[in-house]
Structure 1
């Protein structure tokens, strides 16, 4: 009977503490989001899990394999892309170390958390570190081979995310091509992705193109706003926004080296709500337009002009403003939310971040009253059983 009492009291306390969120109107779209944690004021993963569920986000991309996050999302329907940071690629060139990494960072969570992909490194070709670049492909191979050895390769894919700067040409989209000096590294990676049926990830930001050439790039074209658009003279395909043109330029670059079955996914895209004085266009209004219009396109399951039957697959950057990110001010202002859970701008997601659980006086009284009822019932049952 004591265990019964304990169960009832635990259940009552749980219901009381979440009662505020049970009656929230929950709206949202099904999309992916980048969950970065480069900040000193971010909410706990357990609170973030409630926010993510209230937004109806179905996919999260991490830049590591934070066990606190993976544990907080156990028994949820959220699918995770986890990351192996650039600083760990040297170790991943050793198959046994790659297998140990998976045994420590993946296996303990698989029974309760949906891990669907491992992103090996991030924008490696943006670095000037030749050794890091040389380590990327063998690291990807070893992580995949370790998954094969553990019988997980059918459940978890392996890939890497690239900066859009790997392209030599991106306009018109059908002329897309990779930089010649990177071809020796990119070619085997694309071949590998084709063999294991994994996507090619690109971090695409129309904001950068507009910021660098505001007199030549149409802001409406960058923001998915009504505009005349552009026509690719080689294909006669019409583009009404820059992101779709960027995606198709990557497809063209992949096709140019002989591969037609590798899917392109956008691992990062977004628009900053603030920036330095020289970061033209970094405003809350523009960020709201970009991300709001993008989410509507995702909801409509649109494809690009060159791939109309393949809905765009996008991870928005990012969930929170991250105050410790280095670089220009824009880097710290890509979040949809402030760390306190309030939206930076309203695009209709209406997510809910629960506050720290500090029961109010009324809730404590209600809880005590309910405990008294359970106690009386327990006592009555014990008397009737004696």
Structure 2
């Protein structure tokens, strides 16, 4: 009887095994708008969408009070400009925890503290060096108060990666590997925390729609790509991006750190040149995402089948005061007045064939994929890093028997200072022609591009594809 009472009391505080489940989808609650509903109304909207967790970009007192007693798990954030001061003083870290955690916990179910936001996307070397020390001090303060159910982490953009394709080649940037990533991974492993990553298939697809099929980006699973290094089969771009991070961590000796998608989503509108930013694609992506993430048993990724991936969709609202291109203000699941941009059930329990889930009909030029039709070649871009180009050439040639034509004296060998670019172009075209039907792309981490101009010369014939 005593054990039953304890478990009941724990459940009221949100500490039970059930409420700690990471199998459902949450929402990012941004507030960069002058026409947004109050925190109280916003929490009502979040609950109506059946979100089990919410991620904030600060420690807004009004929002944290509104979340009290809701059983919604909460992620709060240390602002970037606070990182260095917290790293410099345990006293400052203790005060931050007192002000932003102890004032609301445990009635508000704070479960994650994120130290900074995309810190490594800014050229601030001091903030980079202070990141992990600040995380350690926040963790130390939590432990001093005997708080063990709050994870400490930091979210990164995909620009922390040096290589992402194929996924097995995943590596972090060399300028952050020793100074930031190794200490960070050691901290995450020691505290059983997550590697938080922002993963947006929209961005690589929109930058290269001629080469990446829209179905791969929208998680439709109609295309298959095989990583020829390890034989893993991929049906969508999200899994490829996630597994590249997993392989990057593995290469540094940390194969088991859990992943959490801190941001993902799809824009519903944008500027005239931002193709694919529309309600139809956004609804398709986010509904397929929820179906994948909320599945039971968990689906995981090819590298980690069955892995539960805590995920936060970006974002709750369209935020009208965000700067940048038009898409920046149009990621919301809700309009500023609280009405849905399209219907979505974040629990994943709503039947996909329900009348409420009929996809909006695509209209206008933004709803089509502009794809080249005809013969094309994959060639090296001009003015790229030569060391990276050499590595990509070696990778492509390692998988293409036709690279024998590049040997000295053979028909495609070119002597002189321009040989690397020309040889890489032949290797890229050979690779793309051989593996295009298996889902390979003409990207090579930004070193390659498609062209309709035949680069063949003399007796050297570059392989092509028909798109």
What is the TM-score when the length of structure 2 is the normalising length?
A: 0.67
| Superposition pairs of residues 140-155 of structure 1, within 5 angstroms | 140-152=135-147, 154-155=148-149
Residue 235 of structure 1 aligns to a residue in which SS?
A: coil
Classify the secondary structure of the residue corresponding to 1:236. coil
After TM superposition, the score normalised by the length of structure 1 is: 0.81
Residue 171 (structure 1) aligned with residue 168 (structure 2): no
Tell me whether 1:45 sits opposite 2:42 in the alignment. Answer: no
Q: Which of 172, 186, 190 in structure 2 is aligned with 1:191?
A: 186
Deviations 1:62-119 (A, max 9, x none): 1111111111111111001110110111221121101101101110111311001100
Which of these residues, 297, 300, 305, is aligned with residue 302 of structure 2?
A: 305
Aligned partners of 1:193 and 1:199 also within 8 Å: yes
Report the alpha carbon displacement of residue 33 of structure 1 after superposing the two structures with TM: 0.9
Counterpart in the other structure of 1:245: 240
Residue 347 (structure 1) aligned to one of 344, 347, 356 = 344
What SS class does the counterpart of residue 291 from structure 1 fall into? helix
For 1:102 and 1:274, how far apart are their aligned partners in 2? 39
Relative to structure 1, is the Cα distance of residues 347 and 155 closer, same or farther in structure 2, using a 3 angstrom cutoff?
closer
Alpha-carbon deviation of 1:229? 2.0
Hey, what's the Cα distance between the residues in 2 that align with 1:57 and 1:338?
Answer: 17
1:101 corresponds to which residue?
Answer: 96
Q: CA distance change for structure 1 residues 188 and 72 in 2, over 3 Å: closer, same or farther?
A: same
Counterpart for residue 265 of structure 1: 260
Paired residue secondary structure (1:122): coil
Offset of residue 348 of structure 1: 5.1
1:278-289, aligned counterparts within 5 Å? 278-289=273-284
Do the aligned partners of 2:25 and 2:346 also contact (CA within 8 Å) in 1? no
Residue 290 of structure 1, aligned match among 261, 285, 288 = 285
CA contact (8 A) 1:49 1:73 kept: yes
Q: Deviations over 1:278-318 (max 9, x none)?
A: 32211111111111111111232321111112123211111
- Following superposition, which runs of at least 4 residues in structure 1 exceed 3 angstroms of deviation? 347-350
Higher helix share: 1
1:121 aligned residue (95, 116, 130): 116
**Separation in 2, partners of 1:277, 1:99:** 48
Q: In the alignment, what sits opposite 1:160?
A: 154
1:206 aligned partner = 201
Aligned to 1:76: 70
User: Once the 2 structures are TM-superposed, how far is the Cα of residue 264 of structure 1 from its aligned partner?
Assistant: 1.1
* Offset of residue 39 of structure 1: 0.7
**Which residue among 125, 133, 138 is the counterpart of 1:138?**
133
> In the alignment, is the contact (CA less than 8 A) between 1:304 and 1:311 conserved in 2?
no
Q: Higher mean Cα deviation, 249-258 or 137-146?
A: 137-146
Residue pairs, 1:2-13, within 5 angstroms:
none
How much has 1:346 moved relative to structure 2? Answer: 2.8
Question: Which residues of structure 1 form unaligned runs of 5+?
Answer: 1-28, 351-386
- Structure 2 counterpart SS, 1:228: coil
Matched residue of 1:80: which SS? strand
Of residues 81, 87, 102 in structure 2, which corresponds to 1:87? 81
RMSD: 1.5
Counterpart position of 2:225: 230
Local SS of the residue matching 1:234: coil
Q: Deviations over 1:142-183 (max 9, x none)?
A: 11111122222x121110000111111111112111011111
Aligned partners of 2:248, 2:312: CA distance in 1, in Å? 21
- Contact map agreement 2:221 2:236 (CA 8 A) in 1: no
8 Å Cα contact 1:302-1:312 kept in structure 2: no
2:333 is the alignment partner of 1:336: yes
Change (3 A) 1:194 1:226: closer
Partner of 1:376: none
The alpha-carbon deviation at position 345 of structure 1 amounts to 2.0
Q: Are 1:33 and 2:27 matched, yes or no? A: yes
Q: Which moved more, 1:315-324 or 1:142-151?
A: 142-151
Structure 1: how far apart are the matches of 2:78 and 2:309?
Answer: 25
Contact 2:206 2:276 in 1 (8 A): yes
